[in-house]
Amino acid sequence: MSQPEEMFRPTRIPDVILVQPRVFRDERGFFLETYHDLRYAEGGIGETFVQDNHSKSTQGILRGLHAQEKQPQGKLVRAVEGRIFDVAVDIRRGSPTFGQWVGEFLSADDFRQLYVPPGFLHGFYVVSETAQVEYKCTARYDAADELAVRWNDSEIGIDWPAGTPQLSDKDAAAPTLREVWDRLPTFQA
C-alpha cells in the first residue's frame, strides 16, 4: 500500500494555502499529523504558532469576519467535527489581491486545512448540523486589537452558501471594509 501524499496548494490568492495532510487509514481507523513545522514550512507555511483555539457551533452560525490590527494573526484552520465554509479576505492595503476573498469547504471527513496568513480577515459558516473548529494562531488574541468587518459587505462580495446566517451581536454590528480603512495593515512585498 502506498503512502498518501501531503499536499500544499495555493488558492487563487497565493498566500492562502489549502492543505491536504497525509491520512493513514486502516481497519482500526486513521492517523494523521495535523501540523509538522518543517514540512509545513516547505509547503509555504513557515509561521510560528503561539495559540490554539477551539469552537463549537450549530448549523447556520457565521463567525466573522475577524482580524487583529496591530498584531495580525495567521491561522491554520480545520474542522474536527462537521463541515464549514471557511473564508479568507485580503485586507492588506496595497496588495495586488486587496479586497479579494477565498472560500473553501473544510470537514472532519476530508481533514483539509486552510492557512489564512496575517493581514487577512477570517470567518466561517457552519453547513452541517454542528461543527467544531480548531485553529492555530501566529499571534495571541487581544480583544482591544480586534478588527471586524461586516460578513455581507457588498464591496467584498463573499458568496456564502446560505441566506441569512445567525450572528453574534458584535458581528451583526460590524462596519464595512471602507469604514475601517485607516485601521487596515499595509502590504509588505
CB 128 within 8 A of CB 65: no
Residue among 184, 188, 143, 162 at smallest CA distance from 59: 162
Query: Which stretches of the chain are DSSP H helices?
Result: 37-42, 169-172
Q: Which neighbouring-strand residues pair with 102? A: 88
Scored b (16 or more CB within 10 A) or e, 51-73 reads eeeeeebebebbbbbbbbeeebb
Residues annotated catalytic, as ranges: 66, 135
